[in-house]
Amino acid sequence: MPSTLRPLALALLPVLLLAVLLIGACGGDEGGETATVPGAVPAPLPPGVTAYEIAGTTPLEKVAPDDSEDLHNVFRLSENVVSGGEPHGEEALKKIADMGVKTILSVDGKTPEEKTAAKYGLRYVHVPIHYSGIDVPERLRIAKTFRELEGPFYVHCFHGRHRGPAAAAIGRIVLDGVSRERAAAEMRQWCGTSKKYAGLYETIARAPLPTPADTQAYSWDFPSAHEFEGLRHAMIGISRIHDHLQALSRRSWAVDPNHPDLNAANETDQLVGIFKTAKALSEMQRKPEDFQAWMRESVERSEALLATLREPPTGTAEHEVWTQAATEACDAVSARCTACHEVYRNQ
Ligand code: HEC
Nearest residue (CA) to ligand 1, atom 1: 295
Which tens digit of pLDDT belongs to each residue from 121-137? 999 999 999 999 999 99
Angstrom distance (rounded) from CA 167 to CA 160? 10
Which tens digit of pLDDT belongs to each residue from 268-293? 999 999 999 999 999 999 999 999 99
What does the CA dihedral 241, 246, 250, 251 come to, rounded to 10 degrees?
10
State residue 176's pLDDT score. 97
Nearest residue (CA) to ligand 1, atom 4: 337
Nearest residue (CA) to ligand 1, atom 20: 235
Nearest residue (CA) to ligand 1, atom 3: 340
Ligand 1 centroid to residue 136 C-alpha, Å? 22
State residue 63's pLDDT score. 94
- Write out residues in the chain with pLDDT < 50, as ranges: 1-5, 7-10, 13-36
CB 231 near ligand 1, within 6 Å: yes
Ligand 1 centroid to residue 79 C-alpha, Å? 33
Q: Return the ligand 1 atom nearest residue 340 CA.
A: 2
CB 107 near ligand 1, within 6 Å: no
CA 245 centroid distance within chain:
21
Residue from 90, 299, 55 nearest 198 by CA: 55
Query: What Cα–Cα distance (Å) separates residue 329 from each residue in 123, 160, 172, 318, 336?
Result: 41, 27, 42, 16, 12
CB 162 near ligand 1, within 6 Å: no
Residue from 260, 225, 268, 222 nearest 243 by CA: 268
State residue 22's pLDDT score. 42
Ligand 1 centroid to residue 232 C-alpha, Å? 7
CB 305 near ligand 1, within 6 Å: no
CB 128 near ligand 1, within 6 Å: yes
Ligand 1 centroid to residue 246 C-alpha, Å? 16
Nearest residue (CA) to ligand 1, atom 18: 232
Nearest residue (CA) to ligand 1, atom 26: 109
CB 249 near ligand 1, within 6 Å: no
pTM assigned to the model = 0.87
Q: Cβ(82)–Cβ(99) under 8 Å? A: yes
**N- to C-terminal Cα distance for the chain?**
74
Sheet (strand 66-68) strand order: 66-68, 71-76, 81-84, 153-156, 103-106, 123-126
State residue 34's pLDDT score. 44
CB 344 near ligand 1, within 6 Å: yes
Ligand 1 centroid to residue 334 C-alpha, Å? 11
CB 238 near ligand 1, within 6 Å: yes
State residue 317's pLDDT score. 85
Q: Return the ligand 1 atom nearest residue 298 CA.
A: 5
DSSP-assigned states of every residue in 196-207 = T-HHHHHHHHHS
CB 292 near ligand 1, within 6 Å: no
Angstrom distance (rounded) from CA 100 to CA 279? 44
What does the CA dihedral 132, 133, 135, 138 come to, rounded to 10 degrees?
110
State residue 13's pLDDT score. 47
Nearest residue (CA) to ligand 1, atom 30: 235
CB 340 near ligand 1, within 6 Å: yes
Nearest residue (CA) to ligand 1, atom 8: 235
List, in sequence order, the alpha helices (H) in 64-126.
Answer: 90-98, 114-119
3-state secondary structure of 59: coil
Q: What is the largest CA-CA distance in the chain?
A: 99
Q: Return the ligand 1 atom nearest residue 130 CA.
A: 17
Residue from 184, 163, 174 nearest 54 by CA: 184
DSSP-assigned states of every residue in 130-155 = BTTB--HHHHHHHHHHHHHS-S-EEE
Angstrom distance (rounded) from CA 121 to CA 101? 9
Residue from 176, 181, 134 nearest 151 by CA: 176
Q: In order of start, what are the domains of the chain with their CATH numbers? A: 51-217 (3.90.190.10), 230-344 (1.20.120)
